[in-house]
Amino acid sequence: MYEFDRGTALIHMSDAQKLFRLESAVNGVRLKLADMFAAPSLGRELAANLGTGYFVGDWTQRNANFFRAIKTERTVMFIILALIVAVAAFNIVSTLVMVVTDKQADIAILRTLGASQGSIMLIFMVQGTLIGLVGMVMGLAGGLGLALNVETLVPWLEHTFNVTFLPADVYYISELPSDVHAADVIRVAILSFTLSVLATIYPAWRASRTQPVEALRYE
């Protein structure tokens, strides 16, 4: 990290003792845990056992604002992603509405042959769901492919086009890491599929309300 690299210096303990005029060369102990998320509970336990005169802190306290900002960014990004999926779902609505309008005569013929309103509605719901399912699978495949290779792709783009996407003196990090979480992928997939199904309801309902006499009047 740029901030740490720019502001961290390592010197001998005896030199640090002289520089800061300390009675002891050691004035603190840092612990590295196998489970980083156990730091808050261990910190509280140490603070209770050591008593007064000691300061106990962990990485969540020192970087609290940073992690709160990341949490906010995750929430905002999920909302933005949901809006993008909603726009795609609206495209499914418009596509099915145009199909319903174009197939009025065919729908009327099916109705006269005995097809019920429910079966007509189911036909268009299945069609819209398949469109959403194919789009979701393609989107997941492209997104996962990009996420799993972004650490290789970004340096290649920077080298090819002679640009720097994350200048170290501006951002906290100079490289773009990628960590795919299965839970996040599943949430996005469920959201996309749910919106795709919901988007089919109105066009399918409109198709089921087609009146054969009105649709075939000018045929």
Between 144 and 63, the higher pLDDT residue: 144
Domain ends where: 47, 62, 77?
62
Domain count, the chain: 2
Q: How confident is the model at residue 25 (pLDDT cuts 50, 70, 90)?
A: confident
Is the same domain home to 129 and 170? yes
Q: d(Cα 7, Cα 106) in Å, to the nearest integer?
A: 73
Residue 197 has pLDDT above 70, yes or no: yes
Domain ends where: 62, 85, 107?
62
Q: How confident is the model at residue 215 (pLDDT cuts 50, 70, 90)?
A: low
Residue 1 has pLDDT above 70, yes or no: no
Half-sphere exposure of 6 (CA within 13 A, CB side): 9
Got the DSSP string for 139-157? HHHHHHHHHHHHHHHHHHH
Instruction: State the virtual CA torsion across 8, 11, 13, 18 in degrees, nearest 10.
Output: -100
Tens digit of each residue's pLDDT (9 = 90 or more) over 122-173: 999 998 899 889 988 998 999 899 888 888 888 888 888 888 877 767 776 7
Is the same domain home to 28 and 58? yes
**pLDDT value of residue 218:** 59
Is the same domain home to 150 and 184? yes
Is the same domain home to 78 and 177? yes
Is the same domain home to 55 and 70? no
Is the same domain home to 129 and 168? yes
Q: How confident is the model at residue 2 (pLDDT cuts 50, 70, 90)?
A: low
Is the same domain home to 23 and 58? yes
**pLDDT value of residue 126:** 92
Domain ends where: 38, 62, 86?
62
Least confident span in 62-71, 140-149, 165-174, 182-191: 165-174
Is the same domain home to 154 and 79? yes
Please check whether residue 85 is in contact with residue 195, taking contact to mean a CB–CB distance below 8 angstroms: yes
Is the same domain home to 175 and 102? yes
Mean pLDDT of 79-93: 87
Residue 16 has pLDDT above 70, yes or no: yes
Q: d(Cα 134, Cα 190) in Å, to the nearest integer?
A: 14
Structure-token pair, residue 35 = 């489970």
Is the same domain home to 126 and 44? no
Is the same domain home to 79 and 163? yes
Q: How confident is the model at residue 72 (pLDDT cuts 50, 70, 90)?
A: very high
**pLDDT value of residue 201:** 92
Q: d(Cα 35, Cα 165) in Å, to the nearest integer?
A: 32
Which residues constitute the domain of residue 78?
Answer: 66-216
Is the same domain home to 94 and 169? yes
Q: d(Cα 85, Cα 87) in Å, to the nearest integer?
A: 5
Task: Fill in the amino acid letter for 204.
Answer: A
